[in-house]
Amino acid sequence: MISDPPELFAPDRGVPLGSWIKMTGSESVEIAACAGFDFIVIDLEHSMLSMSDAYRHIVVAAGQGMAPLVRVPSHDHGIVQRVLDAGATGVLFPHVDTVGQAEAVVRMVRFPGAGTRGSGGTSRAGGWGLRSRADYLRFGNEKALCVPQLESEESLRNASGILAVEGVDAVLVGAADLALSMGVPAGDPRHTELVVSGLDAAKAAGLPCGTAVGSALAASRAIEQGFGFVVAANDTTLLAKAATTLVQQVRGVPA
């Protein structure tokens, strides 16, 4: 029997640490598990990953005890339904700017009564038809995570309203896209103020607020700042940096 995917915000767990997965080979997922990451985010927005790739990554991650999240490329009901029926722990939705958009993405994750997700009980999430209908519906309505990404000035100004939408389980502040949309570098005082406002809104709502960073130092600082989950680096850049460092060291090229 297929069990529920691992929980991300388990009470006995510290701040969950994850990484983006952008490569097609499931070796990346298994290596992330061996390294000790709590979760992965399978990135369908900024990679060439297919639905088949995402499915394999979900299966491997869950089998290794990691929570598999999927960042979808858009607010597409069909894609959301497929990744949840593949057994994803939850979905990250890019560019959620308004309360109305937050309500719409929540409905995609929940079954009728609370949403518009169709029944796929013969899928992996339904144990190939062996799970009871009640158990399959229970996970979708009570456990599957809906995580809007706040990555524009408009979204951060609407953060409190978005976080108040029933069914929103957490948010992730997309600091890079926020800076891009503002036309300022990351760390600009106006940018920092908006990021902190999103974190404060999540704390007031009693929900986790995540962030994405590129280094161990930045991850540690984010945890100290109070972020509730952190996505650190990604498989492609980790490989690229390690390979570049090795070649430079062998050839005596200054880093």
pLDDT in tens, 23-39: 999 999 999 999 999 99
Tokens of 13: 């767990």
The continuous run of DSSP H or E covering 51 comes out as: helix 51-63
Torsion 135-17-196-105 (CA) sign: negative
Q: What is the reported pTM?
A: 0.95
Query: What's phi and psi for 198, nearest 5 deg?
Result: -65, -45
Say whether pLDDT at 42 is over 80: yes
Question: How many structural domains comprise the chain?
Answer: 1
Query: What's phi and psi for 150, nearest 5 deg?
Result: -105, 110
Average pLDDT over every residue of 77-84: 97
Tokens of 112: 């009728």
pLDDT tens, 126-176? 999 999 999 999 999 999 999 999 999 999 999 999 999 999 999 999 999
pLDDT tens, 210-250? 999 999 999 999 999 999 999 999 999 999 999 999 999 99
pLDDT tens, 165-179? 999 999 999 999 999
Range of the domain at 145: 17-251
Which one-letter amino acid corresponds to residue 61?
A
Which one-letter amino acid corresponds to residue 66?
M
Residue 231 inside a domain? The answer is yes
Residue 101 inside a domain? The answer is yes
Is 46 in the active site?
Answer: yes
Say whether pLDDT at 1 is over 70: no
In this prediction, residue 107 has a pLDDT band, given cuts at 50, 70 and 90, of very high
Comparing CA positions, the residue from 43, 88, 93 lying closest to residue 66 is 88
The torsion angle over the Cα atoms of residues 14, 19, 25 and 28, rounded to 10 degrees, is -60
- Beta-bridged to residue 145, according to DSSP, are 90
- Please give the Cα distance from 12 to 9 (Å, whole number): 8
Tokens of 48: 């060439």
Residue 215 inside a domain? The answer is yes
pLDDT, residue 255, reads 65
Residue 169 inside a domain? The answer is yes
Which one-letter amino acid corresponds to residue 216?
A
Residue 23 inside a domain? The answer is yes
pLDDT, residue 32, reads 98
b/e for 23-43, b at 16 or more Cβ within 10 A?
bbebebbbbbbeeebbbbbbb
- Give the single-character DSSP code of 169: -
Residue 6 inside a domain? The answer is no
Tell the burial category of 185 from Cβ atoms under 10 Å away from its Cβ (0-12, 13-18, 19+): exposed
Residue 61 inside a domain? The answer is yes
CATH at 70: 3.20.20.60
In this prediction, residue 86 has a pLDDT band, given cuts at 50, 70 and 90, of very high
Catalytic residue chosen out of the listed positions 46, 75, 77, 95? 46
Torsion 221-222-228-230 (CA) sign: negative
Angle at which helices 51-63 and 27-35 cross, to 10°: 30
Residue 125 inside a domain? The answer is yes
The continuous run of DSSP H or E covering 19 comes out as: strand 17-21
Tokens of 101: 């958009």
**Cβ(113)–Cβ(140) below 8 Å:** no
